[in-house]
């Protein structure tokens, strides 16, 4: 693939962007300095060579002619070679708090970094791409101030006071209860509410079971947990029926998402049958199943989502009806992710964010090399001395030779039909393995914002996962002053509650 860098392209410090920065990008991401094995693998596995023709023209070699080969080139981000003059073994520590020159519209100034408190982005008035076709009319905010408010309820109150310009209202309690349509701020037209249906690969909200843990290495136990997990009730009661059930690990990828697979339903009888096959046939005094050795059918369910605490409560209550105990553990996001990355969890409620790509990825999450230090012996048998590999995305410790083979074939394939077949086969294997219980899908996002923020006529692009992702809004300063004065004077506006469903699934 051949590419030419726009000769106008400049780093935010004024230096030109050249092919040398492309070369340096590969050097950095393939080096041990970054301490990031995923980057080491990705930039080594997916590219074979880079060729320089002049300061702006280069070619990349790739091992396969993948159907999304153009994006594999055009979505690369060169790295400013001139900035990393002090590159060495202490790279993360040395550069942690230094702002790297960017090709984008915003910069971070040293004086705008207040560690643990706030950070501000300032628009680069000399941004080279401001008048380019696909960049103009975006990035309109001159300054974006990000403040750390650790308590969500306090952040919401700051929003209602006008100290924050917009606030996410996707969770039902905020949309229906904390800021209902008859709230004076909404009724009087000061704050607008918007629902926007998008079309994106869906974050993988669900229960991730760690097969490296006792009992969870038994498929019958995992199948039983699937049937004992009442996602439909969660969607009906907690999410007010607004969300839908996730079906696979790869929802939202169009033709690459298997339309036939359906998640297991909630069924106490089917759960009990599965648990009985694993030797759990008797209930204790508290109703939780025990086996002949007196071992309780009990697991710690960990999450870093404090706002989903009530979801866990529903799951625990429903699981108990099937003789399964969930011991709930709600940690802060950092602590929960640290535990999961160290593979110390039993079961976790979490999700991976996914990018709008043509087809799903499987190697990072499901290949055995990301589950164990050495999953199998040379003869293909399970290595009895294997140890879980930490700091990877294989949260279930899945190691299935047949799945590994399909993943490798999928990565190497250049044929869309073959990739679809392999994707469907891998999803069926993951369904049979039963270590991921598909949770819920948010087919939209909901936002509250003060009336002085304006948006395009159709609000946003269908690939947006959040309201601010593509920087399409702008602030009308005159209207902001008018609204603030109107509130003081008691003047009202027509309420503004809008639904944009042009991209909604039929």
Strand order in the sheet with 325-330: 325-330, 298-303, 347-350, 206-209, 436-438
Per-residue model confidence (pLDDT) at position 505: 85
Angle of helix 416-433 relative to helix 401-412, nearest 10 degrees? 160
Count the helix, strand and coil residues of the chain and give each as a percent rounded to the nearest 5: 35, 20, 50
Whole-number Å distance between alpha carbons of 74 and 68? 10
Cβ-count burial of 470 within 10 angstroms (0-12 exposed, 13-18 middle, 19+ buried)?
A: middle
Q: Is the pLDDT reported for residue 506 higher than 80? A: no
Mean of the per-residue pLDDT values of the chain: 96
Whole-number Å distance between alpha carbons of 153 and 346? 30
pLDDT digits (tens, 9 = 90+) for 214-262: 999 999 999 999 999 999 999 999 999 999 999 999 999 999 999 999 9
Q: Cα-Cα-Cα-Cα dihedral of 358, 168, 333, 463, to 10°?
A: 10
Query: Where residue 284 falls among pLDDT bands split at 50, 70, 90?
Result: very high
The dihedral built from the CA positions of residue 210, 213, 214 and 219, taken in this order, carries a sign that is: positive
Query: Where residue 150 falls among pLDDT bands split at 50, 70, 90?
Result: confident
Whole-number Å distance between alpha carbons of 478 and 482? 6
Q: Is 215 left (phi over 0), alpha (psi -120 to 50) or beta?
A: left
Backbone phi and psi for residue 111, each to the nearest 5 degrees, phi listed first? -70, -10
pLDDT digits (tens, 9 = 90+) for 84-107: 999 999 999 999 999 999 999 999
Query: Where residue 37 falls among pLDDT bands split at 50, 70, 90?
Result: confident
Query: Where residue 158 falls among pLDDT bands split at 50, 70, 90?
Result: very high
Per cent of the chain over pLDDT 70 is 100
Whole-number Å distance between alpha carbons of 277 and 346? 21
Whole-number Å distance between alpha carbons of 306 and 332? 7
Whole-number Å distance between alpha carbons of 389 and 369? 8
pLDDT digits (tens, 9 = 90+) for 382-417: 999 999 999 999 999 999 999 999 999 999 999 999
Q: Is the pLDDT reported for residue 204 higher than 80? A: yes
Mean pLDDT computed over 416-437: 98
pTM: 0.89
268 contacts 274 by C-beta, under 8 angstroms: no
Per-residue model confidence (pLDDT) at position 329: 97
pLDDT digits (tens, 9 = 90+) for 321-354: 999 999 999 999 999 999 999 999 999 999 998 9
Q: Is the pLDDT reported for residue 66 higher than 80? A: yes
Query: Where residue 355 falls among pLDDT bands split at 50, 70, 90?
Result: confident
Q: 10 Å Cβ neighbour count for 236? A: 14
Q: Is the pLDDT reported for residue 281 higher than 80? A: yes
Strands 436-438 and 206-209, bridge-based pairing: antiparallel
Specify the DSSP class assigned to residue 456: -
Mean pLDDT computed over 68-89: 94
Per-residue model confidence (pLDDT) at position 358: 94
Whole-number Å distance between alpha carbons of 356 and 256? 13
Query: Where residue 503 falls among pLDDT bands split at 50, 70, 90?
Result: very high
Distances (CA, A) of 110 to 114, 135, 155, 322, 482: 9, 26, 25, 56, 34
Residue 494, SS3?
A: coil
């Amino acid at each position: 693939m051949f590419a030419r860098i726009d000769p106008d392209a400049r780093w935010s410090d004024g230096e030109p962007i050249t092919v040398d920065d492309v070369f340096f990008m590969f050097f950095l991401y393939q080096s041990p300095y970054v301490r990031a094995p995923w980057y080491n693998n990705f930039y080594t596995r997916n590219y074979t060579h880079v060729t320089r023709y002049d300061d702006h023209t280069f070619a990349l070699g790739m091992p396969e002619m993948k159907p999304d080969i153009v994006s594999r080139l055009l979505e690369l981000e060169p790295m400013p070679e001139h900035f990393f003059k002090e590159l060495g073994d202490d790279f993360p520590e040395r550069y942690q708090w230094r702002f790297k020159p960017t090709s984008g519209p915003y910069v971070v100034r040293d004086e705008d970094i207040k560690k643990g408190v706030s950070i501000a982005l300032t628009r680069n008035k000399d941004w080279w791409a401001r008048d380019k076709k696909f960049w103009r009319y975006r990035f309109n905010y001159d300054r974006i101030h990000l403040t750390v408010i650790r308590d969500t309820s306090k952040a919401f109150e700051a929003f209602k006071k006008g100290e924050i310009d917009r606030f996410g209202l996707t969770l039902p309690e905020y949309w229906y209860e904390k800021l209902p349509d008859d709230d004076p701020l909404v009724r009087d037209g000061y704050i607008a509410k918007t629902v926007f249906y998008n079309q994106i690969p869906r974050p993988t909200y669900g229960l991730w079971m760690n097969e490296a843990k006792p009992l969870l290495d038994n498929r019958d136990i995992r199948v039983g947990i699937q049937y004992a997990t009442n996602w439909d009730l969660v969607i009906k009661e907690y999410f007010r029926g607004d969300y839908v059930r996730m079906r696979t690990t790869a929802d939202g990828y169009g033709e690459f998402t298997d339309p036939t697979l359906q998640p297991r339903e909630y069924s106490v009888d089917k759960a009990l049958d599965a648990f009985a096959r694993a030797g759990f046939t008797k209930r204790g005094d508290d109703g939780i199943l025990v086996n002949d050795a007196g071992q309780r059918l009990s697991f710690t369910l960990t999450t870093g989502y404090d706002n989903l605490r009530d979801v866990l409560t529903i799951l625990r209550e429903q699981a108990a009806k099937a003789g399964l105990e969930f011991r709930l553990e709600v940690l802060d996001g950092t602590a929960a992710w640290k535990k999961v990355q160290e593979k110390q969890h039993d079961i976790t409620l979490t999700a991976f964010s996914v990018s709008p790509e043509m087809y799903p990825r499987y190697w990072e999450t499901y290949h055995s090399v990301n589950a164990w230090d050495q999953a199998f012996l040379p003869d293909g048998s399970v290595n009895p001395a294997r140890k879980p590999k930490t700091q990877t995305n294989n949260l279930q410790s899945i190691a299935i030779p047949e799945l590994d083979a399909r993943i490798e074939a999928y990565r190497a394939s250049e044929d869309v039909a073959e990739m679809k077949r392999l994707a469907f086969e891998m999803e069926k294997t993951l369904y049979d393995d039963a270590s991921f219980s598909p949770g819920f899908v948010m087919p939209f996002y909901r936002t509250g914002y003060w009336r002085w923020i304006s948006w395009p006529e159709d609000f946003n692009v269908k690939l947006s996962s959040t309201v601010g992702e593509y920087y399409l809004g702008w602030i009308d300063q005159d209207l902001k002053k008018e609204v603030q004065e109107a509130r003081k004077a008691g003047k009202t506006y027509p309420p503004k509650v809008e639904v944009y469903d042009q991209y909604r699934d039929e």
